[in-house]
Structure 1
Amino acid sequence: MLKNIILKIKRRENSFYASLYKIANFLLNFNIPSISLVHLPLYYLDSFTKSTIRWFINVFWSVPLFRARCETVGRDLRLLNGIPYVIGNHLKIYIGDNVRIGRTTFGASKVFDSPVLKVGNNTYIGYGVTISVAKEVIIGDNCMIASCIIMDSDDHPISPEKRLLGMPVDKVDVKPVRIGNNVWIGNGSMVLKGVTIGDNSIIAAHSVVTKDVMENCVYAGNPAVLKKKDINKEEQI
């Protein structure tokens, strides 16, 4: 019954239903006028209240709980969007000083007993980053990691039979990932197994890194290729 009435209102079958449609449309799109003297202070009050609540949760809940989960954590850790989602109780996490972590996923496969994730000092790991660790992923100091995927294995075996059985990748197919110091990885990128990224290099947005990256270079594309060399020297000129 109610569904039929709603359909008649949407179709505006006659003048009565057309009137109900206009009323419903008005209510759905109604906005209270903004009065700066009233609503601007309320805006700042809302912002201050939310910031205070986030700070309280970060200091007294998220950081202590995440510290307990890690092997070591340096000074001044800040979790920007709550506790990272960690998959795998056997993943060993080492965090340096002054690290900022957004809403991220740290996952460990069941290939090795003690896979290791290390994050260096003053490094920022942004919102939406996923790091999959089968054996070892090392991120250096002063890095900026935008929303991307970093993985030291294919996560699943090539054989369809093994995938159907839920088996992990073979140990020989796992190749650690090492990201140097002062590296910037752009949004939407992928850093795949066995890759080493040299110090000071930049990975452009939406790149797929399948091979080693030299120091002081810009790489871009799928697969990522060298686009610019000696960027550190150019900046010093």
Structure 2
Amino acid sequence: MPSLRATVKHSNHWAARLLRGAVYGARNFTLPVPRPVVVPLVKGFIALRAVYYWLVRVFVCEPFFKAQCARYGDGVRTGTFLHWIMGAGDIVVGDRVHVEGKVSFIFASILPERPRIELGDDTYVSHLCTFIAARRITVGRHVHIANGVTIFDSPGHPLDAERRTAGMAPDPEDIRAVCIGDKVWIGTGARIFPGVTVGEGSVIGMGAIVTRDVPPYSLAAGNPARVIRSLRPARDGHDAPTLPATTIATHP
């Protein structure tokens, strides 16, 4: 038997048509907005929201993050989320570092030495970034890291299937430190693999899979990432040709 809803939807009976009209009217009903009344209410709501999130950031989120840092500098800021910090390791943060949104710091205690994540002065880390350290991840000064970037120094599991099935840790030689140089810009969704060094002043494109070192002042993009061109001025004094904007990920 057809359901009541299907009957009402397809019936030509006056009651069904009346009900369909009432539902349509309710779904499309709107009220006029008297601006002298509504605009002050909206501005008041926005002001209260700003105060609320300021209080959450200053008195909850930033103290929570700083309390879990081995050392932090002056002017360190967070967003209005509690960062996800898991495992035993050291977070060392320089001056004026801004860790926005919700960022994950994950430590794997595999090696004898304590794992470490360092963020240099004036570095900006955006929402949903992930740092996974079993040895060491070093991020330089004035680095911009866009949304959803993952940087890890360990594969997490052994390559050998039997060892992986047995729940064993990866081989120590597969755990290799990652170094991000000063003034680097890493685009949205990029992945920086173990052992990679990104040279000073380089740009990593959106979604790039970086498995090899990137020379200083280079633009790298793709899967796997390759150097597209140098970012240094050409020998004749003119800058190198500009690539399309879609090649480079935007920074928040």
TM-score (norm 2): 0.83
After superposition, where does 1:58-73 map in structure 2 within 5 Å?
Answer: 58-73=57-72
Q: Tell me the distance in 1 between the aligned counterparts of 2:166 and 2:41.
A: 57
Q: Tell me the distance in 1 between the aligned counterparts of 2:110 and 2:169.
A: 6
Match in the other structure for 1:27? 26
Taking a change above 3 Å as real, the CA distance of residues 166 and 27 of structure 1, as seen in their structure-2 partners, is farther
1:218–1:226 CA contact under 8 A, matched in 2: yes
Taking a change above 3 Å as real, the CA distance of residues 201 and 232 of structure 1, as seen in their structure-2 partners, is farther
Match in the other structure for 2:163? 162
Task: Find the residue that maps to 1:231 and give its secondary structure.
Answer: coil
1:12–1:21 CA contact under 8 A, matched in 2: no
Match in the other structure for 2:138? 138
Displacement after TM superposition at 1:91 (Å): 1.9
1:111–1:170 CA contact under 8 A, matched in 2: no
Output the amino acid matched with 1:208: I
Displacement after TM superposition at 1:33 (Å): 2.6
1:198–1:215 CA contact under 8 A, matched in 2: yes
Match in the other structure for 1:213? 214
Pick the aligned partner of 2:91 from 86, 90, 93: 93
Match in the other structure for 2:250? none
Q: Tell me the distance in 1 between the aligned counterparts of 2:168 and 2:16.
A: 60
Task: Find the residue that maps to 2:52 and give its secondary structure.
Answer: helix
Match in the other structure for 2:244? none
Q: Tell me the distance in 1 between the aligned counterparts of 2:92 and 2:195.
A: 20
Displacement after TM superposition at 1:22 (Å): 3.4
Taking a change above 3 Å as real, the CA distance of residues 219 and 14 of structure 1, as seen in their structure-2 partners, is same
Q: Tell me the distance in 1 between the aligned counterparts of 2:158 and 2:23.
A: 55
Q: For structure 1, which runs of at least 5 residues remain unmatched after alignment?
A: none
Q: What do you get for the CA RMSD once the two structures are aligned?
A: 2.1
Taking a change above 3 Å as real, the CA distance of residues 77 and 6 of structure 1, as seen in their structure-2 partners, is farther
Q: Which is worse superposed, 101-110 or 174-183?
A: 101-110
Taking a change above 3 Å as real, the CA distance of residues 30 and 72 of structure 1, as seen in their structure-2 partners, is farther
Q: Tell me the distance in 2 between the aligned counterparts of 1:225 and 1:166.
A: 34
TM-score (norm 1): 0.88
Displacement after TM superposition at 1:108 (Å): 1.3
Taking a change above 3 Å as real, the CA distance of residues 220 and 20 of structure 1, as seen in their structure-2 partners, is same
Displacement after TM superposition at 1:18 (Å): 4.1
Q: For structure 2, which runs of at least 5 residues remain unmatched after alignment?
A: 240-252
Among the aligned pairs, what percent are the same residue?
29
Q: Tell me the distance in 1 between the aligned counterparts of 2:25 and 2:123.
A: 50
Q: Tell me the distance in 1 between the aligned counterparts of 2:47 and 2:158.
A: 49
Match in the other structure for 2:83? 84
1:175–1:193 CA contact under 8 A, matched in 2: yes
After superposition, where does 1:188-207 map in structure 2 within 5 Å?
Answer: 188-207=189-208
Match in the other structure for 1:36? 35
Describe the superposition over 1:115-156 as per-residue Cα deviations: whole angstroms up to 9, x where unpaired.
100001111000111111111101011110012111111122
Match in the other structure for 1:125? 125
2:123–2:142 CA contact under 8 A, matched in 1: yes
Structure 1 or 2: more helix by fraction: 1
Q: Tell me the distance in 1 between the aligned counterparts of 2:20 and 2:105.
A: 49
